[in-house]
């Protein structure tokens, strides 16, 4: 196919001509399509032996990756989603819990070592710059060695960090407008949801949040809302075995959203599709898809998708 196309281009006798002909021969048909792929759907920092990977969500707009959160395993999951790591372009961090940022540095490193990405822009709440600087310091010996020994460029110049401490427009380019909304995730105050308004689709990623009417307002009219979810009976079973059970239960109840409330937010926002992700607990295989979505459906009558790793929506 590749060979045939090359021959065709050669025969067409010039780039200007072949450009206008390319769509007709089926090249680049993915263009102008906004794709949503769940990379990791398990809430919390614990690495499971099997099952869901830690949080990360990918939006591809005209084949350009926009990555939301970098839980442990994100590099591997990107490869599984057929995104070469040196294609990494935009990263958005919702908040600085480690299940959302643990692989930020390693992901940038992996992109660098794969072959030079053009540029990475990373957006997130205060702390992202320090995290980036600290990460490069942590790997300074390796980086210096490879720059001298292998002639690699300086990875620190690859990344531009954009911190913000207030909700609003985060990024605007020809393809998409990305905006943020402050959500409720105590004790963390700098926790955000993101909204991506592309030409063909609008997608909202809740990040971690307790029931948040502001989020419902922010997600008004979106095509897709990806919302975190916590299943109480699963929590009770999980934490009854832990020494810090009482404290952990209090944190979870204050900082995450139960199914009924997820349904309320989706209904208030009037979204077409609700995607459940960031499951807490995320590695209890005994909880069925129906159990995850039952409470949600009491309030939301649209399409509900129980998220799975690498599911494309």
Single out the segment in contact with Zn ion by CB under 5 A; choices: 22-30, 37-45, 83-91, 192-200: 37-45
List Cα–Cα distances, 282 to 49, 78, 81, 231, 310, in angstroms: 12, 20, 20, 10, 15
* Residue 283 binds Zn ion, judged by CB under 5 A: no
* Residue 184 binds Zn ion, judged by CB under 5 A: no
* Residue 97 binds Zn ion, judged by CB under 5 A: yes
For every residue of 105-158, DSSP letters joined together read: HHHHHHHHHHS--S-EEEEESTTHHHHHHHHHHHTHHHHHHHHHHH----GGGT
| Cβ-based burial of 137 (10 A; exposed 0-12, middle 13-18, buried ≥19) | exposed
What is the C-alpha end-to-end distance of the chain, expressed in Å? 28
Distance of closest approach, residue 45 Cβ to Zn ion, in angstroms: 8
Distance of closest approach, residue 171 Cβ to Zn ion, in angstroms: 22
Distance of closest approach, residue 82 Cβ to Zn ion, in angstroms: 26
Single out the segment in contact with Zn ion by CB under 5 A; choices: 147-155, 207-215, 265-273, 295-303: 207-215
Per-residue interface string for the shown chain with Zn ion, residues 38-77, x marking contact by CB under 5 A:
-----x----------------------------------
Nearer to Zn ion, 178 or 255 (CB): 255
Distance of closest approach, residue 105 Cβ to Zn ion, in angstroms: 18
Single out the segment in contact with Zn ion by CB under 5 A; choices: 27-35, 206-214, 244-252, 304-312: 206-214
Nearer to Zn ion, 34 or 212 (CB): 212
List the one residue out of 103, 95, 214, 219 whose CA is nearest residue 164.
Answer: 95
Dist. CA 258–CA 144, nearest whole Å: 48
Distance of closest approach, residue 208 Cβ to Zn ion, in angstroms: 3
Identify the DSSP state of 307.
-
For residue 6, count other CB atoms closer than 10 A to its CB: 10
Structure tokens at 91: 């990263």
Kind of pairing between the strands at 202-205 and 34-40: unpaired
Distance of closest approach, residue 162 Cβ to Zn ion, in angstroms: 21
* Residue 208 binds Zn ion, judged by CB under 5 A: yes
Nearer to Zn ion, 45 or 270 (CB): 45
Distance of closest approach, residue 100 Cβ to Zn ion, in angstroms: 6
Distance of closest approach, residue 79 Cβ to Zn ion, in angstroms: 22
Q: Are 192 and 223 in contact (CB under 8 A)?
A: no
Single out the segment in contact with Zn ion by CB under 5 A; choices: 35-43, 153-161, 211-219, 260-268: 35-43
Distance of closest approach, residue 44 Cβ to Zn ion, in angstroms: 6
Identify the DSSP state of 210.
S
Dist. CA 105–CA 94, nearest whole Å: 15
Structure tokens at 261: 């409330």
Structure tokens at 283: 């590695």
Nearer to Zn ion, 61 or 225 (CB): 225
Helix (H) or strand (E) holding 2: helix 2-12
* Residue 103 binds Zn ion, judged by CB under 5 A: no
Nearer to Zn ion, 208 or 261 (CB): 208
Q: Are 52 and 277 in contact (CB under 8 A)?
A: no
* Residue 264 binds Zn ion, judged by CB under 5 A: no
* Residue 99 binds Zn ion, judged by CB under 5 A: yes
Binding site for Zn ion (CB under 5 A): 43, 97, 99, 208
């Amino acid at each position: 196919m590749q060979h045939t196309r090359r021959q065709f281009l050669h025969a067409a006798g010039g780039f200007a001509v072949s450009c206008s002909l390319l769509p007709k021969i089926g090249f680049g048909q993915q263009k102008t399509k906004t794709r949503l792929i769940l990379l990791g759907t398990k809430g919390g920092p614990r690495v499971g032996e099997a099952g869901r990977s830690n949080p990360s969500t990918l939006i591809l707009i005209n084949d350009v990756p926009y990555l939301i959160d970098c839980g442990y395993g994100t590099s591997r999951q990107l490869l599984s989603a057929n995104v070469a790591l040196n294609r990494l372009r935009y990263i958005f961090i919702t908040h600085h819990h480690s299940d959302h940022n643990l692989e930020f540095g390693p992901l940038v490193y992996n992109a660098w070592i794969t072959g030079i990405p053009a540029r990475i822009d990373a957006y997130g709440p205060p702390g992202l710059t320090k995290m980036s600087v600290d990460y490069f310091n942590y790997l300074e010996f390796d980086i210096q060695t490879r720059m001298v020994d292998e002639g690699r460029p300086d990875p620190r110049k690859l990344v531009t960090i954009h911190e913000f401490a207030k909700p609003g427009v985060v990024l605007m380019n020809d393809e998409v407008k990305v905006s943020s909304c402050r959500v409720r995730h105590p004790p963390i105050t700098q926790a955000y949801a993101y909204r991506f308004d592309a030409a063909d689709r609008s997608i909202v990623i809740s990040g971690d949040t307790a029931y948040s009417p502001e989020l419902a307002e922010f997600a008004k009219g979106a095509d897709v809302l990806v919302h975190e979810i916590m299943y109480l009976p699963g929590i009770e079973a999980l934490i009854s075995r832990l020494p810090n059970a009482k404290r952990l239960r209090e944190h979870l109840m204050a900082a995450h959203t139960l199914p009924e409330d997820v349904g309320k937010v989706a209904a208030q926002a009037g979204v077409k599709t609700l995607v459940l992700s960031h499951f807490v607990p995320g590695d209890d295989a005994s909880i069925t898809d129906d159990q995850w979505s039952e409470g949600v459906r009491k309030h939301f009558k649209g399409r509900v998708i129980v998220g799975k790793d690498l599911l494309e929506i």
